Amino acid sequence: MKSLLWMMPLTVVLASSCTKTAETPATAVTAQTLDQQFISAWNSKNAIQLDTLFADDVHFLQGESHFQGKSEVSNRWVRETMGTISNLRLNVASSGTDAQTAYEGGTYQVDVIPTTPGTPMGVGEGNFVLLWKKNPKGAWKLSYAQLEGLPVRVK
């Protein structure tokens, strides 16, 4: 029996060295942090920063519009829309994040800037889904954005 006692500490050491411990990243990425980057860039009207957030194969859908690819989404959604709205706000109803994807969905609200003098400000509201995917280099990119808006109301 005494000859087997020395094996107990050795077994504990060996077993604990084989146990995988969960690594906690210094800054955990969540859909909320990704969407906040997007909102900050949009509200500061930083189209160049928004471009860096898009995946090469990003999709944007709103009503009958479907833009595909970084260039088309950037030009036809971001640059054509950015000057007409401000103060983007999200109210998240559902979100999730795993190792490769992150999403948030809910409602959005924006201030609509008048395009002609004397026209009152408006408020745009609707539903949204933003889907982020990790690219092969490990960077998170916006892969899919869908907005379904209600008619603009006078503010």
Q: What is the largest CA-CA distance in the chain?
A: 96
Confidence of residue 28 (pLDDT cuts 50, 70, 90): confident
Q: Following CA atoms 48, 53, 58, 59 in sequence, which dihedral angle do they give, to the nearest 10 degrees?
A: -80
Encoding tokens for residue 49?
């920063």
Confidence of residue 96 (pLDDT cuts 50, 70, 90): very high
Fold of 27-154: Nuclear Transport Factor 2; Chain: A, (3.10.450)
Domain ranges of the chain: 27-154
Q: What is the pLDDT of residue 27?
A: 63
